[in-house]
Structure 1
Amino acid sequence: MKFSRLKRKLGGLLGLDSYYWENRPNGLYCLNFHRIGSGEDTPFDPCVFSCSTNELDNHIGFIKQHFAVISLTELEQLIKSKSPPTKRYMCLTFDDGYVDNFTNALPVLKKHNVTASFFIATGLVGNNTVPWWDKIAYLIKRYKPSEVILSGWNQKIIYSGNQESYIRDILSAVKLCKYSANEQILEIERELSHSTGYPDAEFMSWEQLNTLLAEGMEIGAHSHNHDILTKLTDDELFYELSHSKALLEQYLPCQVTAFSYPVGNKSTYNQKVIDGLRNTGYQIAFNFLPGVNISPSNSPYDLHRFPIAPEADEAALKNMFSYTGKF
């Protein structure tokens, strides 16, 4: 990552942006989105919003001009062939299963006639469960503590005037802590004397997921409870991998062979998790780390994805794809 940033800085100074863009390698490029819309009015985590509906429209139009958009089914066939990619392929993915993926993203995808894949945390479907990151953001936004320090943290997080950055830093500390997110939420609730519940959750229903499939989209698993998998016992890990797959295949007319790791950085999955995926019937898995997969058949359970950030324009996308690692 540091090398990529240095390369990008030098390339800009030397006027090489166009050169690197035109000479980006063949391979698998994956974009990852979460929420689509505006995070300004949400009672929950604003950091989960990837872009607005108009920005998504622009992004998909740009992608269609410069990449060959493929489905997960086509990607699995490419991986099984063990042939190196001969084009710049692109997979479009959405994580978690927020309802705005249905209301805001699906019409844009249909407009552009492209297939995208939606990775679903099944414990959030068909009920009113609020996930741990949204609970934490809600508590911070409601009670506005000037600082937060929990058991297992190395240092306190202090509010410095930017609420979004404050929430992001607190969530980062929660992810790094040895204790589960739910244990940390209970501690925050006690510290803030919170006992009144949470607003309604904002996730898709089984009916909406069925509609996604009927409209030509694809579904993958994102675990059941969206826990960090490396923190789990062997039995808990098996449950997260197998139960999410079983539920999706029970309620939806599809075979689920693709998985995306919750949180998705290197500390959240390991060889034990990969072995669990393979033994449970998954064929491919995606992380949340930027990079071009130039040999996807060599690492089908460690496929890299580019995260999309709000207000990214065409120049930002070009630089992101041009100055990056190759895997």
Structure 2
Amino acid sequence: MRAQLRHLYTKLFEPRAAVLMYHRIAAPSSDIWEIAVSPANFEQQLAFLKKKYQVISLQEMADSVANKKIRRNSVALTFDDGYVDNYLQAKPLLEKYELPATFFISSGNIGQETPFWWDELEQLILFTQQLPATFRLGQFQSQADLKDENYLTEDLRLKHTSWRACDEAPPTSRAQLYYSLWQELKPLSHAVQQEKMQLIREWANPSGETLPELKSMSLAQLQELGRNHLFEIGAHTVSHPALAFHEAPYQKRELAENREFLRQATGQGVDLVAYPYGNYNTDTLATVASLQFKAAFTTEERTINTQAHPHRLGRFQVKNLPAQEFSQALSRW
């Protein structure tokens, strides 16, 4: 009974804070995972936050958890992965409104020409103009008969660009193949992922090049971000693995090497970490504790209060909403 009353009191009266999660600040033609916010909507969101909330650094948020003193009406901003648009679009707008933010960087893609595997897979399967009629490679569990979908019609393109993969079933055979391959590749190590991606590239034989907007920041851009007093750099592993699918030594190597790269690149201490895909297990929690990360963040949508576990802190994925709809979403959170 006492525990129930304490929970009710916490829910009704104790100050709560929110951490907002962004990935891309862009207006791409396709955004099946709904991780892009247009620069126009992002600016509206920042203006609203500046006016209505206390936007604090993630370090301050982590300290408030450690000290069990949550600042009422406080919000922190985070960006995952290290897409180049974080530097080109988010950085100048954050500077304009003088709002702090933390960028969780997957270091393996910094300065590389190739995009993250999930972005490349989307382009290969959903938007290559002409594919073979069947996908049957011995190294994959996924198989498909594309039939008349091997050629990308305008109708197919529209179905793919309007698809929201988190909430909707795949609308086409191509989309079903993409989703099946995404599920198959996600748990793998980076080396095995890349071996399988090369087989998919050879099968698809695309004629176009990587879209420049899918690339990550350059090293120089990351370094400039790290020199700005508004911004913190956080760990996000080297190769963005789904950590819970891997043994503890692999997890530790991914986290430790990522942090060391970021320390060397920016000169910052790196005390905060976000789990790729929000994926973690008990080994992950033990690893981030042994590496002495001050706080770790998931993708679990929950507010932060004095009872929050410092290595299981929730965040809310921000969607591409103008100010009024954004304010309604915040009020629900």
TM-score range, shorter chain: 0.7 to 0.9
- From the superposition, tell whether residues 58 and 25 of structure 1 become closer, same or farther in structure 2 (CA, over 3 Å): farther
Q: Does 1:240 align with 2:240?
A: no
Q: Aligned residue for 1:211?
A: 224
Q: Letter of the aligned partner of 1:73 in structure 2?
A: Q
Q: Letter of the aligned partner of 1:117 in structure 2?
A: T
Alignment of 1:182-197 (within 5 A): 182=194, 184-193=196-205
Say if 1:35 and 1:48, in contact at 8 Å, map to a contact too.
Answer: no
State the aligned residue count. Answer: 293
SS of equivalent residue, structure 2 residue 18? strand
- From the superposition, tell whether residues 39 and 108 of structure 1 become closer, same or farther in structure 2 (CA, over 3 Å): same
SS of equivalent residue, structure 1 residue 26? coil
Say if 2:15 and 2:72, in contact at 8 Å, map to a contact too.
Answer: yes
Q: 1:219, 1:95 → 2: CA distance?
A: 10
SS of equivalent residue, structure 2 residue 128? helix
Say if 1:24 and 1:322, in contact at 8 Å, map to a contact too.
Answer: no
Q: Letter of the aligned partner of 1:87 in structure 2?
A: R
TM score, norm. by length of structure 1:
0.78
Alpha-carbon offset, residue 243 of structure 1 = 0.5
Say if 2:79 and 2:102, in contact at 8 Å, map to a contact too.
Answer: yes
Q: Does 1:34 align with 2:41?
A: no
Segment drifting more, 246-255 vs 201-210 = 201-210
Consecutive unaligned residues of structure 1, counting only runs of 5 or more, are 1-22
- From the superposition, tell whether residues 48 and 185 of structure 1 become closer, same or farther in structure 2 (CA, over 3 Å): farther
Segment drifting more, 138-147 vs 211-220 = 138-147
- From the superposition, tell whether residues 152 and 229 of structure 1 become closer, same or farther in structure 2 (CA, over 3 Å): farther
The Cα RMSD (Å) is 3.1
TM score, norm. by length of structure 2:
0.77
Q: 2:92, 2:283 → 1: CA distance?
A: 38
- From the superposition, tell whether residues 152 and 287 of structure 1 become closer, same or farther in structure 2 (CA, over 3 Å): farther
Q: Which one of 53, 70, 73 corresponds to residue 39 of structure 2?
A: 53
Consecutive unaligned residues of structure 2, counting only runs of 5 or more, are 1-11, 150-155
Q: 1:303, 1:314 → 2: CA distance?
A: 25
SS of equivalent residue, structure 1 residue 92? strand
Q: State the identity %.
A: 25
Say if 1:38 and 1:49, in contact at 8 Å, map to a contact too.
Answer: no
Segment drifting more, 231-240 vs 63-72 = 231-240
Q: 1:58, 1:227 → 2: CA distance?
A: 33
Segment drifting more, 195-204 vs 242-251 = 195-204
- From the superposition, tell whether residues 313 and 127 of structure 1 become closer, same or farther in structure 2 (CA, over 3 Å): closer
- From the superposition, tell whether residues 282 and 173 of structure 1 become closer, same or farther in structure 2 (CA, over 3 Å): farther
